[in-house]
């Protein structure tokens, strides 16, 4: 079980295992260690030698440690599993042959064919028991697409304890690197090497509605880019060739917005995109993870990923004289701001309207104009441009997010209950209700299901305003009956 060097989130099983009134303890099922030696070969090629150890502590740990799996991009990464050795609880040594390695399309490639070409190399272990230890040694050679592409975050697992993480980076005169760390990592910088060490890190104790484990765990970061400004400028260079108002874009913007200007035009363009562009992840070239498709192509196809959404909407905005810049955020329950560029910081592209200091998330088809769900509000965001800068998305407030509900219940002489309700959703509460009503067959079924779980039962009806009109707040009306409740 190698320590994840990209993003480690508290597992769903950790969160769902919470019981109110019980004190929680950190898991201790597998004890992890890892050693990583990084050596630049050329200005655009880096070799990484990784040695991970997993010591099985419990039967649960044995169930968790069933095999090795690592996903990578074959066009830019070459992974070689050098050896996998198992020391059983009885002291027997088992060396798994290289023929045991199975390489196939990753889950991401299978779910979105054509978007990503990543593959997964995996090996199945024999059944393990407490006391066994697995040692995995690998070599990865990564070919960088540009000098700003190298980032290496080190972070321990949140779900199991870590005995030790050790990093050795071998300096080369042709490869400039920057680093940053949290307090628990110990760094030593010499003339030829940089080392970083973390000892004895416990697993995270889960809590209800907690932030991501990545906001809590210690980190060590390596980056070939000095700061977020330089990173945003480099990212903007990839957008620049396609981030333009073409005749097709201009014609479409005029058709959608007409003579509207400013925010009125922006709202119409936003509404059109979320209703007419379908979200599909597309992979077209080696740099597609950071490079959007041209807006004309997105219009013709009628689909795109988050970068395409922000690119098309941004160019439509510019066609109507509205300044708009593509931006990046982490759309999750992670809110930590890292001091230097790292892949831990972002996983999603959105749009920033310069003149209105407003971020838009057009990929979220349930969110209104300028409304961000709770996983995006007041999150670190980088605005990509020639003057790139790190900032925060707009914060939510209690006054601008919530609901107003008016309900009445009548009990008649025969013991029958009747009720009526009218609920007005405000701000990002609209996102929740739009998503809910578009996932059910009918409002009547939704009400009947709710009443069926009550002591009295009953039947009812529910109606709502158009969930596809994200420029207007949702209104939900209900009426119901439950007979002989006395």
What are 402-437's pLDDT values in tens digits? Answer: 999 999 999 998 888 999 999 999 999 999 999 999
Contacts of 41 (CB under 8 A, 6+ apart): 47, 141
Place of tokens 């769903």: 12
* CA pair distance 19, 385, nearest whole angstrom: 47
Distance CA 292, CA 239 (A): 7
Average pLDDT over residues 217-237: 95
Q: What is the pLDDT of residue 3?
A: 38
Residue identified by tokens 């992840």 is 281
Q: Is 232-392 the same fold as 12-19+26-224?
A: no
Nearest alpha-carbon partner for 81 in 92, 67, 91: 67
CATH pick for 232-392 out of 3.10.620.30, 3.40.50.300, 3.40.50.150, 3.30.360.10: 3.10.620.30
Using CA atoms, how far apart are residues 314 and 383, in angstroms rounded to an integer? 13
Compute the CA torsion angle 284, 289, 293, 295 (nearest 10 deg): 160
Each residue of 55-65: pLDDT tens digit?
A: 999 999 999 99
> Has residue 120 got a pLDDT over 50?
yes
| pLDDT value of residue 7 | 31
Note the pLDDT of residue 99: 92
Question: Quick one: 412 exposed, middle or buried, by C-beta within 10 A (0-12, 13-18, 19+)?
Answer: exposed
Q: What does the domain layout of the chain look like in residue ranges?
A: 12-19+26-224, 232-392, 400-482
pLDDT band at 8 (very low <50, low <70, confident <90, very high): very low
Determine what percent of the chain is predicted with pLDDT higher than 90: 73
Judged by average pLDDT, the poorest of 8-17, 121-130, 300-309, 360-369 is: 8-17
- Element (DSSP H or E) covering residue 69: strand 67-72
Helices first, then strands: H and E counts in the chain: 10, 25
Report pLDDT for 396.
87
Secondary structure (3-state) at 16: helix
Q: Tell me which of 86-100, 269-283, 425-439 is least confident.
A: 269-283
Could you give the C-alpha distances from 146 to 48, 118, 210, 346, 479, in angstroms and in order?
18, 19, 37, 18, 61
Helix, strand, coil in percent for the chain, rounding step 5? 20, 35, 45
Residue 15 has pLDDT above 70, yes or no: no
Please check the confidence at residue 2 and state whether its pLDDT lies above 90: no
pLDDT band at 107 (very low <50, low <70, confident <90, very high): confident
pLDDT in tens, 275-285: 999 988 654 33
Give the model's pLDDT for residue 283.
47
User: pLDDT tens, 179-192?
Assistant: 999 999 999 999 99
pLDDT at 19 over 50: no
Q: What is the pLDDT of residue 485?
A: 62
More confident residue, 145 or 201: 201
| pLDDT for position 175 | 95
Structural domain 12-19+26-224, CATH architecture:
Sandwich (2.60)
Condensed to tens digits (0 to 9), the pLDDT of residues 297-342 reads: 999 999 888 999 999 999 999 999 999 999 999 999 999 999 999 9
20, pLDDT greater than 60 = no
The residue ranking higher by pLDDT, 246 or 483, is: 246
User: Which one is predicted more confidently, 308 or 290?
Assistant: 308
> What is the pLDDT at residue 258?
95
Mean pLDDT, rounded, of the chain: 89
Q: How many residues does the chain have?
A: 486
Whether 197 contacts 185, CB under 8 Å: yes
β partners of residue 131: none
Instruction: Label residue 453 by pLDDT band (50, 70, 90).
Output: confident
434: left (phi over 0), alpha (psi -120 to 50) or beta: alpha
**pLDDT value of position 274:** 94
Q: What does the block give as tokens for 245?
A: 């108002």
Using pLDDT thresholds of 50, 70 and 90, give the confidence band for residue 145: confident
Percent of all residues in the chain with a pLDDT value above 70, rounded to a whole number = 90
- How much is the average pLDDT of 116-122? 84
């Amino acid at each position: 079980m190698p320590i994840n060097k990209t993003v480690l989130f508290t597992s769903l099983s950790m969160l769902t295992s919470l019981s109110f009134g019980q004190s929680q303890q950190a898991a201790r099922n597998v004890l992890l260690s890892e050693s990583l030696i990084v050596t630049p070969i050329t200005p655009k090629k880096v070799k990484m030698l990784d040695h991970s150890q997993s010591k099985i502590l419990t039967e649960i740990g044995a169930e968790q440690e069933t095999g090795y799996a690592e996903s990578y991009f074959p066009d830019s990464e070459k992974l070689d599993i050098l050896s996998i050795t198992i020391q059983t609880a009885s002291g027997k040594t088992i060396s798994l042959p290289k023929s045991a390695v199975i390489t196939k399309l990753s889950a991401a490639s299978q779910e979105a064919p054509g978007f990503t070409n990543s593959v997964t190399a995996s090996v199945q272990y024999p059944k393990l028991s407490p006391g066994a230890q697995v040692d995995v040694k690998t070599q990865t050679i990564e070919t960088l697409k540009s000098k700003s592409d190298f980032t290496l975050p080190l972070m321990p697992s949140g779900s199991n304890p870590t005995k030790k993480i050790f990093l050795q980076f071998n300096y080369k005169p042709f490869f400039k690197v920057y680093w940053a760390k949290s307090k628990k990592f110990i760094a030593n910088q010499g003339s030829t090497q940089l080392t970083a060490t973390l000892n004895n890190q416990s697993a995270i104790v889960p809590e209800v509605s907690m932030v991501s484990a990545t906001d809590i765990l210690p980190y060590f970061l390596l980056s070939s880019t000095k700061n977020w400004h330089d990173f945003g400028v480099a990212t903007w260079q990839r957008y620049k060739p396609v981030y333009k108002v073409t005749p097709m874009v201009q014609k479409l913007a005029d058709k959608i917005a007409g003579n509207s200007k400013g925010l009125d035009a922006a709202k119409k363009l936003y509404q059109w995109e979320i209703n007419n562009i379908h979200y599909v992840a597309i992979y077209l070239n080696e740099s597609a993870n950071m490079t959007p498709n041209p807006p004309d192509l997105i219009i013709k196809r009628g689909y795109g990923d988050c970068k395409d959404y922000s690119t098309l909407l941004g160019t439509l905005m510019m066609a109507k004289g509205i300044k708009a810049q593509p931006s990046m955020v982490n759309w999750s329950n992670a809110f930590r701001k890292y001091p230097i560029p790292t892949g831990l910081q972002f996983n999603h592209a959105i749009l920033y309207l310069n003149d209105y200091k407003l971020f838009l998330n057009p990929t979220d088809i349930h969110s209104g104009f300028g409304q961000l769900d709770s996983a995006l509000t007041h999150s670190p965001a980088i605005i990509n441009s020639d003057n790139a800068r790190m900032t925060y998305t707009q914060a939510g407030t209690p006054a601008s997010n919530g609901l107003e509900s008016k309900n009445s219940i009548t009990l008649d002489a025969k013991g029958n209950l009747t009720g009526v309700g009218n609920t007005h959703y405000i701000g990002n509460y609209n996102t929740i209700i739009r998503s809910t009503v578009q996932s059910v067959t009918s409002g009547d079924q939704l009400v009947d299901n709710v009443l069926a779980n009550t002591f009295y039962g009953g039947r009812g009806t529910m109606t709502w305003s158009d969930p596809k009109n994200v420029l207007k707040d949702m209104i939900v009306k209900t009426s119901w009956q439950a007979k002989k409740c006395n």
